[in-house]
Amino acid sequence: MNAMTEPSSGSPRGDLAVVAGFIRPGARVLDVGCGDGHLLELLQGEKQVDGRGIEISQRGVNECVSRGLSVIQGDADTDLVYYPDKGFDYVVLSQTLQATRNPKLVLTDLLRIGERAIVSIPNFGHWRMRLDLLLRGRMPVTEELPYSWYDTPNIHFCTIRDFVNLVDEIGAKVESATALNGKGEKIGVSMPWWFWNFFGQQAVFLLRR
């Protein structure tokens, strides 16, 4: 999955470092939409986690398995139901929620399977997005979100504020959150939501039930 960054590959994504920062050593981690397994490898190397992955593209899966990662082919929308309650300490959904058919259900499942969920999202409330719509009257296409409206896998965009509302709606708690700029650098330490929602290009949330 990793629908956001699929076309461009290269330097490690900034949000992954933030995700890794939320995870305690030795934890059981399920990475939903693990792509080529970059985060899992990072976590196994630095945090000695017991890591598993689900990835929608068979090529990504085969790549992960040949590198010794425990990964299965699967879809966040349909395959999370097979996981038992509280099977993991953390379930990670990195830059993938916007590509799911039913984000609310997926989010609910993440918090059923994991004690905590770590979710990173691209922020559609960023000022450049707003400006694109306001001035150009066009659906925004940016370096980070390079798809046109008709070929994008990202079918459920939201803003940081929208996401916080959804978390509230399913009765979960935001334990910690961080907004990042385009380079993956943190923006401020504890800014109000409106500020992050305007200046953050992506955000990473640590959630619990």
Partner 1 sequence: MTRVRIARAASDEVNNPTSQVVRFGADRPLALDSGGALAPFQIAYQTYGTLNAQKTNAVMICHALTGDQHVANTNPVTGKDGWWDVLIGPGLIIDTDRFFVICSNVIGGCLGSTGPASTNPATGKPYALGLPVITIRDMVRAQAMLVDHLGIEQLFSVVGGSMGGMQVLEWASSYPDRVFTALPIATGARHSSQNIAFHEVGRQAVMADPDWLGGRYIEAGKRPTKGLAVARMAAHITYLSEAALHRKFGRNLQDRDALTFGFDADFQIESYLRHQGATFVDRFDANSYLYMTRAMDYFDLAADHGGRLADAFAGTKTRFCVVSFTSDWLFPTAESRDIVHALNAAGASVSFVEIETDRGHDAFLLDEPELFSAIRGFLRSAARARGLEQ
Q: If binding means CB under 8 A, how many residues of this protein chain bind partner 1?
A: 21
Whichever of 116 and 126 has its CB closer to partner 1, that residue is 116
Cβ 62 to partner 1, closest distance in Å? 5
Count, residues in the chain: 209
Strands 28-32 and 88-94 come out as parallel
Instruction: Give the whole-angstrom CA distance, residue 133 versus residue 91.
Output: 34
Cα four-point dihedral sign 161, 167, 172, 175: negative
Cβ 131 to partner 1, closest distance in Å? 43
Whichever of 51 and 103 has its CB closer to partner 1, that residue is 51
Whichever of 80 and 145 has its CB closer to partner 1, that residue is 80
Which residues does residue 55 pair with via DSSP β-bridges, in sequence order? 73
Cβ 30 to partner 1, closest distance in Å? 10
Q: Please calculate the CA angle 201-72-57 and round it to the nearest 5 degrees.
A: 55
Among 57, 73, 152, 176, binds partner 1 (CB under 8 A): 73
Long-range contacts of 85-88 (CB under 8 A, 24+ apart): 85/112, 85/113, 86/112, 86/113, 86/114, 86/115, 87/28, 87/30, 87/113, 87/114, 88/27, 88/28, 88/29, 88/30, 88/52, 88/113, 88/114, 88/115
Using CB under 8 A as the binding rule, whether residue 25 contacts partner 1 is answered as: no
Cβ 148 to partner 1, closest distance in Å? 28
Cβ 52 to partner 1, closest distance in Å? 7
Cβ 206 to partner 1, closest distance in Å? 23
26-65 residues in contact with partner 1 (CB under 8 A) are 50, 52, 58, 61-62, 64-65
Residue span 87-106 as binding mask against partner 1, x where in contact by CB under 8 A, dash where not: x-------------------
Q: Kind and range of the H or E element at 40? A: helix 38-47
Enumerate binding residues for partner 1 (CB under 8 A).
50, 52, 58, 61-62, 64-74, 79, 82-84, 87
